[in-house]
Amino acid sequence: MKLSHLAETLIGSEIVKLGGEIREKIRKGEKIYNFTVGDFDPAIFPIPKELEDAIIDAYRKHFTNYPAAEGNLDLRESIAVFLKDREELVYNTDEILVASGGRPLIYSLFRTLIDKGDKVIYAVPSWNNNHYTHLNDGEHVVVEATAENNFMPTAEALRPHVKEATLICLCSPQNPTGTTISRKDLSAICELVLQENARRGPEQKKLFVLYDQMYWQLTYGAIEHFNPVSLYPAMREYTVFIDAISKAFAATGVRVGWSFGPAEIIGKMKAIMTHIGSWAPMAEQKACAAYLLQKENIDTYLAGFKGAVSSRLQQIYEGLVALKKEGFSVDVLAPEAAIYLTIKIDLKGKKTAQGAVLRDQAEVTSYLLNEAGLAIVPFSAFGAAKTSPWYRLSVGTCRLEDIPEMLGKLRGAMSRLV
Say how many domains are in the chain: 2
Residues 18 and 33 in one domain: yes
Q: Which residues are 143's β-sheet partners?
A: 123
| Beta strand 96-99 pairing with 257-260 | antiparallel
Please give the angle made by the CA atoms of 92, 100 and 293, to the nearest 5 degrees.
Answer: 50
Look at residues 242, 276, 298 and tell me which one is the last residue of a structural domain: 298
| Cβ atoms of residues 94 and 239 within 8 Å | no
| Cβ atoms of residues 250 and 51 within 8 Å | no
Residues 177 and 35 in one domain: no
Residues 17 and 132 in one domain: no
Residues whose CB falls within 8 Å of the CB of residue 303, separated by 6 or more in sequence, listed in order: none
User: Alpha-carbon dihedral of residues 63, 64, 66, 67, nearest 10 degrees?
Assistant: 30
In the DSSP assignment, the letter for residue 352 is -
Residues 36 and 77 in one domain: no
Residues 292 and 393 in one domain: no
CATH number of 379's domain: 3.90.1150.10
Cis ω for the linkage preceding 160 (within 30 of 0):
no
Look at residues 278, 298, 318 and tell me which one is the last residue of a structural domain: 298
Amino acid present at 363:
E
Provide the residue-wise pLDDT of the chain in tens; the chain has 418 residues: 889 988 888 877 777 777 778 888 888 998 999 999 899 999 999 999 999 999 999 999 999 999 999 999 999 999 999 999 999 999 999 999 999 999 999 999 999 999 999 999 999 999 999 999 999 999 999 999 999 999 999 999 999 999 999 999 999 999 999 999 999 999 999 999 999 999 999 999 999 999 999 999 999 999 999 999 999 999 999 999 999 999 999 999 999 999 999 999 999 999 999 999 999 999 999 999 999 999 999 999 999 999 999 999 999 999 999 999 999 999 999 999 999 999 999 999 999 989 899 999 999 999 999 999 999 999 999 999 999 999 999 999 999 999 999 999 999 999 999 9
Residues 319 and 370 in one domain: yes
What are the DSSP E strand ranges found in 194-348? 208-212, 239-244, 257-260, 330-332, 340-345
Residues 15 and 63 in one domain: no
What are the DSSP E strand ranges found in 320-413? 330-332, 340-345, 374-375, 377-378, 390-394
φ, ψ dihedrals at 259, nearest 5°: -125, 150
> pTM of this prediction?
0.95
Residues 360 and 264 in one domain: no
**What SS3 state is found at 414?**
helix
Separation between Cα atoms, residue 397 and residue 20, nearest integer Å: 17
> Which of 213, 185, 230 lies closest to 90, judged by CA?
230
Residues 271 and 215 in one domain: yes
Separation between Cα atoms, residue 297 and residue 301, nearest integer Å: 6
| Cβ atoms of residues 98 and 72 within 8 Å | yes
**What SS3 state is found at 302?**
helix
| Beta strand 390-394 pairing with 340-345 | antiparallel
Residues 123 and 215 in one domain: yes
Residues 368 and 236 in one domain: no
Question: What domain range is 342 assigned to?
Answer: 5-45+302-415
| Cβ atoms of residues 291 and 297 within 8 Å | yes
Look at residues 298, 328, 354 and tell me which one is the last residue of a structural domain: 298
Residues 289 and 308 in one domain: no
Separation between Cα atoms, residue 203 and residue 267, nearest integer Å: 21
CATH number of 248's domain: 3.40.640.10
Residues whose CB falls within 8 Å of the CB of residue 307, separated by 6 or more in sequence, listed in order: none
- Residues constituting the chain: 418
Cis ω for the linkage preceding 125 (within 30 of 0):
yes
| Cβ atoms of residues 242 and 210 within 8 Å | yes
Separation between Cα atoms, residue 47 and residue 252, nearest integer Å: 9
